[in-house]
Structure 1
Amino acid sequence: MDNVKAAAYLRRYEGFSKLPYKCPTGHLTIGYGHNLENGISAAAAEFILQEDLARAERAVKDSFPWWWKLDDARQFVLVDMAFNMGQAGLKGFKKMLAAIESGDFDKAAEEMLDSKYGRQVVHRARLNAEIMKTGEW
């Protein structure tokens, strides 16, 4: 079978939806008619992860002009937090962000842990706080 022609045909008649919807038979569907009840492959999940990670990084870079001054590990903490709770959620950490901008990483870690985030994702928050303090992965 010619996969290029087959894919073009399916794109034409299935149409594209970036958001999940119920198809006429009631199945939750996304993309070009992909039935989400069938799940996704590990390769598709990895692709989505990389796209979501890049989106979170762009959002952090665009929101915090001082981001580029941080080391790689501390940059990652901000990206991870944006990935986990969204850019709006990260922006709510005003005291933590001010501490990071001023270079007070101990205070930033304290603020991170003294939050709903710190209480909800305890292990992840503790690891991120330690990375923020030390600048080491």
Structure 2
Amino acid sequence: MNTQRIRERLKAHEGCVLHAYEDSEGFLTIGYGRLIDERRGGGISQSEADQMLTHDIIDVTAQLSARKPVFRSLPEPVQESLVEMAFQMGVAGLMKFHDMWASLEVEDYAGAHDAALDSDWADETPQRAREVADRLDP
């Protein structure tokens, strides 16, 4: 069996959608017709979820490095906290933490910690926010 030939045929017939969509029968699907709807036995494997997470961490880290060059010079625990925050609220949402970023620019980690906790994010998820923000002040 020629896997490459099948791959190309499936790509041509299925088409690729890079977000969840409902197939012709109303079931959630992604990519090249990959059923993910649990009502029909779909989903992803743990290995696939882990691969996606690794890819997403790399992607978020690259976005933060590009948008905020100071990110690259921050202590590792601070970088990790910022990646976690971006996962929760998106990179665009994290960019709105102007006071926190200003504090990070001048290595005022206590100020960054306080600015992060003075937010809707901290009000909405206080336990997670406290845990993540505490690593902003290594």
User: Do they fold alike, i.e. is TM over 0.5?
Assistant: yes
For residues 1-137 of structure 1, the aligned pairs below 5 Å read: 3-37=3-37, 38-134=42-138
1:98 and 1:89 mapped to 2: Cα distance?
A: 16
The Cα offsets for residues 39-75 of structure 1, whole Å up to 9 and x where unpaired, read as 1111111111112111111111011111222111111
The offset of 1:10, in angstroms, is 2.0
The offset of 1:132, in angstroms, is 0.9
2:87 and 2:115 mapped to 1: Cα distance?
A: 18
Structure 2: gaps spanning 5 or more residues: none
The offset of 1:11, in angstroms, is 2.1
Structure 1 stretch displaced more, 120-129 or 29-38: 120-129
- Report the residue type matching 2:131 in the other structure: L
1:5 and 1:47 mapped to 2: Cα distance?
A: 25
2:88 and 2:63 mapped to 1: Cα distance?
A: 13
Aligned residue pair count: 134
- Report the residue type matching 1:28 in the other structure: L
1:65 and 1:25 mapped to 2: Cα distance?
A: 46
* Aligned-residue identity in percent: 33
1:68 and 1:25 mapped to 2: Cα distance?
A: 47
Task: Please report the TM-score for the alignment, with normalisation by the length of structure 1.
Answer: 0.88
